[in-house]
């Protein structure tokens, strides 16, 4: 018998492992994409980002997420519950911004503010947010580029990231 029987024994043990590994890889590849609202900073500068949305209790604005150059951050985890989201961002190094016509409240430091009216009277600042219609997609991504940061022109496009 000698060594003639050993390769078959090794093959017999390797085959179930290989089948399991291939099956696991297929399950991972077939799993649904992660749903969330992400912002990617395609500039080389640090950017501060605030988001606005309509919750069951009313309007909410939150910030600041600090996004390093050439990186992304998830602002809302899980499937999106609203159709419309609003974004405002500032270039922390050059002073440019990505803004829009929808006024909402922000603060100097980290914030979560209920309501969008009387910002200054309530001790906050008012900023113009850009509206993104996600079309009720479960996931969305906005990419900030150098062009809008130079003068506050309309914000970067958003896409369904699935």
pLDDT tens for 55-88 read: 999 999 999 999 999 999 999 999 998 999 999 9
Rounded to whole angstroms, what are the CA distances from 64 to 76, 86, 87, 89? 13, 14, 11, 9
Residue length, the chain? 162
* Statement: residue 91 has pLDDT above 80: yes
User: Across residues 109-136, what is the average pLDDT?
Assistant: 96
Please state, in angstroms and rounded to a whole number, the distance separating the CA atoms of residues 82 and 138: 9
User: Across residues 124-129, what is the average pLDDT?
Assistant: 98
pTM for this model (two decimals): 0.71
Residues with Cβ within 8 Å of 154's Cβ and at least 6 positions away in sequence, in order, are: 100, 130, 148
Q: Where are the beta strands (DSSP E) in the chain?
A: 36-41, 47-55, 58-67, 71-77, 84-91, 97-98, 102-106, 111-114, 125-133, 140-144, 158-159
Closest CA to 116 of 140, 78, 84, 162: 84
CA 132 to chain CA mean position, Å: 13
Beta bridge partners of 93: none
- Check residue 22 and give its pLDDT: 38
For the chain, how far is it from start to end, CA to CA, in angstroms?
57
* Statement: residue 154 has pLDDT above 50: no
Q: Where are the alpha helices (DSSP H) in 31-161?
A: 146-149
- Check residue 146 and give its pLDDT: 87
In this structure, are residues 41 and 72 in contact, taking their beta carbons and an 8 Å threshold?
yes
- Check residue 153 and give its pLDDT: 38
* Statement: residue 138 has pLDDT above 80: yes
- pLDDT tens digits, 4-58: 554 444 444 433 333 333 343 333 333 445 689 999 999 999 999 999 999 999 9
């Amino acid at each position: 018998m000698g060594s003639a029987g050993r390769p078959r024994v090794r093959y017999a043990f390797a085959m179930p492992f290989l089948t399991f590994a291939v099956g696991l890889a297929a399950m991972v590849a077939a799993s649904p994409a992660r749903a969330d609202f992400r912002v990617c900073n395609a500039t080389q500068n640090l950017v501060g980002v605030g988001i606005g949305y309509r919750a069951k209790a009313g309007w909410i604005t939150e910030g600041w997420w600090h996004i390093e150059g050439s990186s992304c951050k998830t602002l809302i985890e899980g499937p999106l519950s609203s159709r419309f989201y609003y974004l405002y961002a500032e270039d922390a190094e050059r002073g440019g911004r990505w803004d829009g016509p929808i006024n909402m409240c922000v603060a100097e430091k980290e914030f979560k503010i209920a309501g969008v009216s009387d910002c200054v009277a309530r001790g906050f600042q008012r900023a113009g947010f850009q509206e993104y219609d996600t079309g009720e997609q479960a996931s969305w991504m906005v990419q900030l580029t150098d062009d809008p940061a130079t003068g506050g022109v309309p914000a970067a496009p958003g896409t369904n990231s699935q």
